[in-house]
Structure 1
Amino acid sequence: MEYSGFFRGTYQYGPLPSYDGFIVVELSDRPVRYHIQPTFIGGLNAKECHSMAMAACRIACTSADAIRGKLSVAHLNRAMTKPCLDRLQTMQYLLGIHMVTHPELKAKFCYLPTVPTLIDGMITGKDTLEMAVFMTIGQENLRVNLKLKYIGSRWMCIYADLG
């Protein structure tokens, strides 16, 4: 029996559909675009992706304000796990000490609002989502990487990297 060409063309490979949209942020003069790409079939739907983009933007902006000393890290108690909060608290402390000796950096970084410009995400598992929030503080660009995990009955940030 001849099998050559029998299996050719039976599987269709193509990119999974992404979830794209806009969220409205108070301090931005235009809507913030988001793009979330799943890595498997299933998972979050378009409405949930919109909600996760808003949540990631809120966590990123609040985290940036917290490390600059504008807000307490306690504002993120319900959104972040304890180890993540502890690391953010340490970063707030170290940045605060650094700003005392560098007033020009403090003037450039600490007084202006955070304005998100783009949110990019990837659904990496049924209960895991990784987001990158691009924002500006004055003329400075800032990127906040977040890893969100569904714990119990809500999405919690288990990793936050600001830089």
Structure 2
Amino acid sequence: MEASARESSPVIRGPYEGKVRVAQTMRPIPIRIARCIPSTISNEECHQLAVLACRNACLAMDVVRRRLDSRVLSHYLKPELIERLLTFSYLLHRSDPRKGFVKHELGQLPVVPQQIHGLLVGPDIYEVSVCFSIGDSKYWANVVLHFERGRWRCSLLDIG
């Protein structure tokens, strides 16, 4: 969204709650977006950005699990974030499977989003927490999006 369009939009203050179907075959998942400041960014745009952050988090986990090539994320993530994910992947796959960190389900089962929580921190900063599961295990991803050079871009993506 361009800055001039933002300036002419109405100011929105309250939280937004809804559901989103991230993939056609999945059940709708809850989404909640809060605002630290009144903003002209619409609930619809916040919703779309939260879905984008969720997709990025799920794709990033597939990159960590070596199910996808990291180039898939090159348009959305800064290069240093992709390097961090590849380092995490290296450490994950190098760990001793007998200690339980690398489980069979981690490599075989799909990433399934469970819930999305977004927080509009400032006019150009949007933080999203994504809960997803792989088999019986739950994981969280924290994603920070910055509006720079006319588009939203991921500046932080941590999975744990």
Task: Normalising by structure 2, report the TM-score.
Answer: 0.85
Q: Could you tell me which of 78, 85, 102 is aligned with 2:97? A: 102
| Partner in structure 1 of residue 37 of structure 2 | 40
- The structure that has the greater radius of gyration is 1
1:23 aligns with 2:16: no
**Given that residues 32 and 117 in structure 1 are in contact (C-alpha distance below 8 angstroms), is that contact kept between their aligned partners in structure 2?**
yes
1:1-80 map, 5 Å: 16-26=13-23, 29-80=26-77
Task: Normalising by structure 1, report the TM-score.
Answer: 0.83
User: Which aligned segments of 4 or more residues in structure 1 are displaced greater than 3 angstroms?
Assistant: none
Question: Using the alignment, how far apart are the partners of 1:91 and 1:42 within structure 2?
Answer: 36
Q: Could you tell me which of 123, 137, 141 is aligned with 1:140? A: 137
Residues 1:77 and 1:29: Cα distance change in structure 2 (over 3 Å): closer
| Partner in structure 2 of residue 12 of structure 1 | none
Q: Which runs of 5+ in 1 are unaligned?
A: 1-15
Q: CA RMSD in A?
A: 1.6
Identity of aligned residues (%): 31
Q: How many residues align?
A: 146
**Given that residues 28 and 116 in structure 1 are in contact (C-alpha distance below 8 angstroms), is that contact kept between their aligned partners in structure 2?**
no
